[in-house]
A and B are shown apart, each in its own frame.
Chain A
Amino acid sequence: MGATAIQTKQLGKRYGSFWALENCDISVPEGSVSALVGPNGAGKSTLLKLLVGLSSASKGASEVLGKSPVQHEDFLSDIGYLAQEIPLYKSLNARDHIAMGKNLNKRWDEKLVVSRLKELNIPLDRPVGKLSGGQRAQVALALALAKKPKLLLLDEPVAALDPLARHDFLASLAQAVADGGLTVVMSSHLLADLERVSDHVIVLAAGQTQLCDDIETVLAEHKLLVGPREHAKALGDGVHVIHETFTPKQSTLLVRMSKGAKLPAHMLQHEPNIEEIILAYMGQAKEGGAA
């Protein structure tokens, strides 16, 4: 296990009397690509804004690249951030934005951003307000990467893009990750997309952390069990039911196994995919919230 890029403890953010994020504990290893998933309003954007210092925590603490997030150049220079609405100065063109980045950053790889955008055939001299959504997202990503950040925080960057643009964006991201030295946290509610690029998953629902682990570990620890209802009641030690669905005669259970726990032999076992597991955790939070 390498060093930790992000560590939060009981992190919380309150707007008025509403807790958008509560008791959030996550740990993101350096060099990982984390998928931050959860339904709308789960607190994903809130968490990312806290991590980049755009808003301040109501309680708890966080450590990002060994520092407490503040809007200070020493902290900001190592972090790339892409806000949900992909904000850019609409009347300025990509070249102006590149000049802005050069003016506002100590470390700035102008060649990288220019060659990246040229490769993608994005016109540098057209106001970004006149570019397509996919092109704007690519401009914003290229700008964030030109800072040579150690950590890249992306808030639903592909949510508004068509499938092709989404594919291109994720390909650009994957290439940047392959170049090395980058930790990425990317929020989305499009599970299939995340699966393609990420190796770590954080499930946030109802303002709380439901799951935060390596995808491999998550896959290894979770099983889908199918069997008669009466068998579902006695599963043995170390087996925790995450989600349960019934038909009159049989139960389908998604369970998390502790190390060394034995599965009940009388139930059918399946390997769930990551999407099923994430959905199970989101469903659990929903039921918990409703109860």
Chain B
Amino acid sequence: MNWFAWRQHRKQFLVFGILLALFAALLIPTSINYWHQYQHALTTCATNPNTPSCSDLSSSLFTSSVDGLVRIGAVLGTFGLPILLGLFIGSPLIAKEYEEGTNKLAWTQSVSRRKWLTVRLAWALGFALLYGIVLTLLITWWSRTLNTMTQYRFIQGHFETQGLMPIAYSMFFTAVGFMTGAWFRKTLLSFAVTFGVFVLCTASFANWIRPHYMTPITVTSEIGPGAIDNKIPAGAWVLKRGDLVNKNGREVSFDVPNFPSECQQYTQNIQVPNGGHIARVKASGVDPVIECLNRYGFHQVAKYQPPYRYWDFQRIEAGIYLGMTALVVGATYWLVLRRDA
């Protein structure tokens, strides 16, 4: 059974191997180049601290249009390869057998349907696991320069493209592919649904689920430029930054009607010319409004996940995805073994 499973997959495995090699051809040279450039800039800035670009390296390094393309390519590849596994290895795995009737050929040899399924799924998931591991080693190593320079690896879009997540995605979307294939028995429909699950999962985890794995840390400060930023450690995943809290401790929006009446008077001075009242007052410069709000006990609040929780979050989210993978695999067994051919 193993030989035939390999025979059925070997072309796909080869194509995916080539894709990964192409991706490596983009990442390996740029990774080395970026690291060297960064180290070089650090050395330059240590000897000549007054070089203008040294105040903020992240806004001067790797900002050319080519670098932009490389960075987009890195993100696309890291998100894209796992979902491609789902679409091109997962979806047809069972659906194509149903579509072409070959399931009836395979299931009437001297191999039980359960064993057939187990071997097929094991090859697909085994490949996805291996693929995810190589992919994440590559991309996590590539990300070291930007991780050190920008400390952004915890925020959305970066969290998903390194660490354990590429492995979790590879396994999960492959499983979703073959489960929906077994369910609908149509490769194209399975394609569409798998892609839908991908969009839904990545979006909802980043926005609604991930922030709640651990209680975020809350810090407050008086109102003023940079006051709250100084309390947030570098590399933190900031969920909320600088929202206004009134003297009763309630969070209010930065809108004039929420200000004490005395402070509202100051806002008259900076009313916009077209006559409408000011929707938001920017906390910039020494502003009488800000002074007034501070006097009335208003302050700013920020919520964040500290950088030391990064690996906890990686473990939790990858764990959730692997749990979902197990459920989806169970559903596949149910769909294939309980239903008629």
Contact = CB atoms under 8 A, between A and B. Distances in A.
Interface of A: 49, 52, 54-56, 71-73, 76-77, 79-81, 83, 85, 87-90, 92, 96, 99-101, 103-107, 140, 147
Nearest to A106: B110
A230 to B, nearest CB: 52
B111 interface: yes
B112 interface: yes
Contact of A87 (B8, B101, B110): B101
A77 B112 CA distance: 10
Contacts of B105: 83, 87-89, 140
A103 B112 contact: no
B7 A87 contact: no
Nearest to B100: A87
A104 B340 contact: no
Interface in B1-41: 1-4, 7-8
Contacts of A80: 108
Contact of A54 (B7, B8, B114, B340): B340
A202 B18 CA distance: 55
B102 A87 contact: yes
24 contacts: A49-B341, A54-B341, A71-B112, A71-B113, A71-B114, A73-B111, A73-B112, A76-B111, A76-B112, A79-B108, A80-B108, A87-B100, A87-B102, A87-B103, A87-B104, A87-B105, A89-B100, A89-B105, A92-B7, A101-B109, A103-B1, A103-B4, A104-B106, A140-B105
Contact of A104 (B1, B103, B104): B1
A18 B4 CA distance: 38
Nearest to A13: B340
B97 to A, nearest CB: 9
Contact of A100 (B2, B7, B101, B112): B7
A55 B115 CA distance: 17
A147 B113 contact: no
Contacts of A106: 110
Contacts of A49: 340-341
A52 B107 CA distance: 9
A272 B15 CA distance: 63
Contacts of B103: 87
Contacts of A88: 102, 105
Given A72-B112, A73-B110, 5 more contacts: A73-B115, A83-B101, A89-B102, A104-B4, A147-B109
A260 to B, nearest CB: 45
Interface of B: 1-4, 7-8, 100-115, 340-341
Contacts, number: 76
A99 B100 CA distance: 20
Contacts of A54: 104, 107-108, 340-341
B3 A105 contact: no
B104 A81 contact: yes
B99 to A, nearest CB: 10
A104 B111 contact: yes
A49 B341 CA distance: 8
Among B109, B114, B340: residue with most chain A CB under 10 A: B109
Contacts of A87: 100-105
Among A56, A76, A104: residue with most chain B CB under 10 A: A104
Contacts of A99: 3-4, 7
A52 B113 CA distance: 12
B340 A71 contact: no
A76 B105 CA distance: 12
Contacts of A72: 112
A88 B102 CA distance: 6
Contacts of B109: 76, 100-101, 104-105, 147
A49 B110 CA distance: 16
A80 to B, nearest CB: 8
Nearest to A140: B105
Contacts of B7: 92, 96, 99-100
Contacts of A73: 110-112, 115
A123 B341 CA distance: 30
A76 B340 contact: no
B341 A55 contact: yes
A107 B109 CA distance: 10
A99 B6 CA distance: 12
A88 B104 CA distance: 9
B101 A147 contact: no
A99 B3 CA distance: 9
B115 to A, nearest CB: 8
B336 to A, nearest CB: 10
A77 B1 CA distance: 14
B101 A104 contact: no
A97 B4 CA distance: 9
B108 A81 contact: yes
B107 A105 contact: no
Contacts of B8: 89
Among A72, A77, A105, A107: residue with most chain B CB under 10 A: A72
A76 B110 contact: yes
A205 B3 CA distance: 43
Of all A-B residue pairs in the complex, the 6 with the closest CB atoms, nearest first, are A55-B340, A87-B101, A104-B109, A77-B110, A54-B341, A71-B113
Among B108, B112, B340: residue with most chain A CB under 10 A: B108
